[in-house]
């Protein structure tokens, strides 16, 4: 039987997984707790990814990437997240920055940025959220206006992953807030453009080591050719981007859950109480069984959504939200149960499961909260049956 008949990934992808896992365990795992503790940008770990040609994974070869598509990228993110969710955001958010260029058909910019990312010269970020526009991005107030051969942007973007470290930012701004979605355009803004600055670094619960700051455009001037795609189409690009990026967040959630499960299951075979391993007690063994079932179900959904992205399938919107919502909810349950399996030790930072639990929480929030995912899922369902 072929891979699809056995519901398995192709052998070359499993071989790639083993390669990433080896690098992550040998080069990243020894630093994972320290990165979480200090919350400092790990330049040395970023260089490990660059040196092993991993920053180009998931980008087309004609753009300077190493190929593999969404499914390979998802496996990559899953394996990094199994060790350090904070580190996984380095390639994840750069990919998020390139996707709008691709969906807008802006191949020249996509190629330029991808080549830089693969070489290790460029990092990217995606700047959509604002202080008053989170789940309702069409309510954004960051403004733009044309001034000769430049666009002038003014406004503040909040909770921007990689801000300050990233070189390039896809910034969404509106010509007129009263136009809502129809007034939004997207721009490629660079870190050293005049009028661009960054707010304080947020002190986050999890995914530490990945900076989160405000991106402030105070009359920021960008050349007119940095408009992404067509004027007035920015909101459509933003929403289409999320169809492609939500499965990658689902893969991150899957990796976090797998890392916590692996540690808890091993612990349950080693920790003894009442003269036998705690895994032999039904209360613990049933908990592990439930965790395993959720993991397996999440993995199928995550891989299916990634494969649909590669195929450009019209069911992407639905399955991207299903996978992101299910996998992140599962990750929160699995990591919380992993802490419970370790008991008092699970609550102590010497053991990684409390870090996995803290990291899992954000996957239910960013890239659209899971409440928003349910709105999307229901809307797509009703559309199909109407």
- Give the catalytic positions in this structure: 367
Beta bridge partners, 170, equal 126, 188
Burial 24-41 (b: 16+ CB within 10 A, else e): beebbbebbeebbeebeb
CA distance 113 to 104: 14
CA distance 124 to 163: 9
In the block, which residue shows the tokens 């003014």? 154
User: Helix 234-270 crosses helix 85-103 at what angle (to 10 degrees)?
Assistant: 160
Element (H, E) at 147: strand 143-147
Residue 196, burial from CB neighbour count under 10 angstroms (0-12, 13-18, 19+): buried
How many whole angstroms separate alpha carbon 148 and alpha carbon 259? 53
Taking the C-alpha atoms of residue 345 and residue 206, their distance in angstroms, rounded to an integer, is 19
Q: Tokens for 287?
A: 């908990």
């Amino acid at each position: 039987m072929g891979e699809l008949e056995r519901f398995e990934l192709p052998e070359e992808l499993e071989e790639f997984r083993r390669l990433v896992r080896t690098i992550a365990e040998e080069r990243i795992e020894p630093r994972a707790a320290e990165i979480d503790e200090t919350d400092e940008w790990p330049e040395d770990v970023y260089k490990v990814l660059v040196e092993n040609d991993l920053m180009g994974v998931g980008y087309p070869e004609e753009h300077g990437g190493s190929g593999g598509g969404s499914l390979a990228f998802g496996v990559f993110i899953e394996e990094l997240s199994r060790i350090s969710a904070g580190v996984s955001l380095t390639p994840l958010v750069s990919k998020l920055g390139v996707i709008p260029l691709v969906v807008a058909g802006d191949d020249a910019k996509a190629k330029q940025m991808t080549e830089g990312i693969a070489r290790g010269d460029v990092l990217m970020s995606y700047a959509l959220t604002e202080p008053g526009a989170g789940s309702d991005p069409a309510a954004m107030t960051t403004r733009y206006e044309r001034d000769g051969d430049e666009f002038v942007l003014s406004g503040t973007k909040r909770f921007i992953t990689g801000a300050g470290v990233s070189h390039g930012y896809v910034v969404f701004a509106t010509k007129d807030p009263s136009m809502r979605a129809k007034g939004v355009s997207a721009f490629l803004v660079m870190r050293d453009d005049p009028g661009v600055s960054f707010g304080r670094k947020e002190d986050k619960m999890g995914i530490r080591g990945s900076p989160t700051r405000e991106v402030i455009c105070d009359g920021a001037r960008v050349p007119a050719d940095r408009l992404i795609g067509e004027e007035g189409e920015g909101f459509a690009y933003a929403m289409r981007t999320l169809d492609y990026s939500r499965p990658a967040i689902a893969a991150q959630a899957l990796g976090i859950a797998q890392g916590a499960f692996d540690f808890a299951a091993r612990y349950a075979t080693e920790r003894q109480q009442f003269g036998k391993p705690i895994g032999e007690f039904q209360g613990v063994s049933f908990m592990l069984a439930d965790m395993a079932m959720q993991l397996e179900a999440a993995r199928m959904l995550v891989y299916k959504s990634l494969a649909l992205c590669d195929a450009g399938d019209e069911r992407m919107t639905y399955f991207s939200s299903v996978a992101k919502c299910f996998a992140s909810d599962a990750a929160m349950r699995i990591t919380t149960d992993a802490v419970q399996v370790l008991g008092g030790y699970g609550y102590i930072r010497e053991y990684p499961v409390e870090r996995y639990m803290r990291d899992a929480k954000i996957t239910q929030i960013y890239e659209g909260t899971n409440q928003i995912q349910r709105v999307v899922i229901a809307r797509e369902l009703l559309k199909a049956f109407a």
